[in-house]
Structure 1
């Protein structure tokens, strides 16, 4: 074999190897391009994992029952710490008043009510996004002056002559629950006043403007040594479920969902349980 023939064959082998390498490189480049969405004619969908990892930001406005004040204040601060750049605005009050504000167009992202009945005011008007979820329950207790000077031991004792008793208005959950307990015991009680939320009822006792009030266990616990709690068995027949919901026209739905997730998380449950709430 002549040297020119050997040279020709060698050139042919080299050309084939280069072609094969170029072909492999082209295939690799094509595969990489389709995964990243680069190149013309790409039909790549947005990265769903990136979309779901969007961090909450901005202000989230929460309308919550007055009895949630201490717990939600704590959770609001934790939410802001866990999500820098967010701000939680909390509006507490009687659940019926808050519900009326929402259906009246008040801008809010989340509603946490003290009863399904008051939540229904919002859902019946189609102002909630999705189905509300029960996240805690609450039970009634008698709040009396420190040391229990009137020796109150039962719900019946609240009917004593001359005793100044305060109840929540029947339109708010704590008042409706108190009435349910009274009806179950076949007791009639005329309070010195009906208050628009549970904190207002408790304050009457704290200021010694009333001898006793029927409130939630959580409120008695939050008041510390300012009042003394008296349990009564009829309260078991008037336990309130607390539902929470994202609102349909929430200005900041992303942050609202994240706040609701915190409330329903193990961390949220721990805060609420320590406050005296019952798990659903």
Structure 2
């Protein structure tokens, strides 16, 4: 009986080898994660964005680029309407973020968006005055006083359209000393004491810190503007453009921290 043990051991060893070979031929279990890594991001993109995003977007880009070494995001900030017109005219842009759905529609109607735009935030107007409020501004009615030096955005850009709306609601006939191309230009005049008051967004007042003071008014709640974003067709780096849009969407908390309202 003891002489048969080596033979039995050999048979067992062969069976174990056979079973191991069969196991190697079995498919992976359903639902197992793929071992192939996702494509890495690289290169750069150009983002045209509303002037009121000029504080929060660079901060988001810095963290995005840190997470994705080798990527570069270049911004072109300005009045949304001007940026939209430039895109329609053929400017090389990868992503567009506007300060109104109406402005984004200009680019959509030209069939230049890659997919439907997504609203990432909302914003509302606030009166900005120099520290100490030397012009003694109390509300929207002061924008109808020719004795006051006041500035607003041009009517063709979203902040100007919103201004027109709140003036109508307040039944004020504005007498601005200048119409500026974007909120940044309005804020600059207030910061430099070139104006007693200017109409900008809440986020601009917050970003300016101690350089200005903000005066809220009730009509602002009825002229809230939405901020849509979309990657554009013909992007030189569609993967990076899509990743940036998704990153902005996922960081709503950063937009809220900057003073923007939730997108709803």
**TM-score normalised to structure 2 length:** 0.88
Q: Partner of 1:50 in structure 2?
A: 36
Query: Number of residues paired by the alignment?
Result: 257
Give CA-to-partner distance per residue, 1:30-85, whole Å, 9 cap, x none: 44xx77xxxxxxxxxxx97736x222211122111000000001011111111111
Deviates more, 1:100-109 or 1:111-120: 100-109
CA RMSD of aligned residues (A): 2.4
Shift of 1:13: 9.1
Classify 1:20/1:118 alpha carbon distance in 2 versus 1 (closer, same or farther; 3 Å). same
Whether the aligned pair in 1 keeps the contact of 2:159 and 2:183 (CA below 8 Å) is: yes
Separation in structure 1 between the aligned mates of residue 230 and residue 74 of structure 2, nearest angstrom: 16
* Larger Rg belongs to: 1
Shift of 1:197: 0.8
Shift of 1:150: 2.2
Matched, 1:270 2:246: no
Separation in structure 1 between the aligned mates of residue 168 and residue 17 of structure 2, nearest angstrom: 88
The DSSP-based 3-state class of the residue aligned with 2:45 is: strand
Give CA-to-partner distance per residue, 1:175-202, whole Å, 9 cap, x none: 0000000111221112111111110111
Q: Which runs of 5+ in 1 are unaligned?
A: 1-11, 36-46
Whether the aligned pair in 2 keeps the contact of 1:153 and 1:232 (CA below 8 Å) is: no
Q: Partner of 2:95 in structure 1?
A: 110
Matched, 1:134 2:119: yes
Where does 1:232-251 land on structure 2 (aligned, <5 Å)? 232-251=217-236
Q: Which runs of 5+ in 2 are unaligned?
A: 1-6
Matched, 1:99 2:71: no
Classify 1:14/1:84 alpha carbon distance in 2 versus 1 (closer, same or farther; 3 Å). closer
Q: Partner of 2:206 in structure 1?
A: 221
Deviates more, 1:186-195 or 1:71-80: 186-195
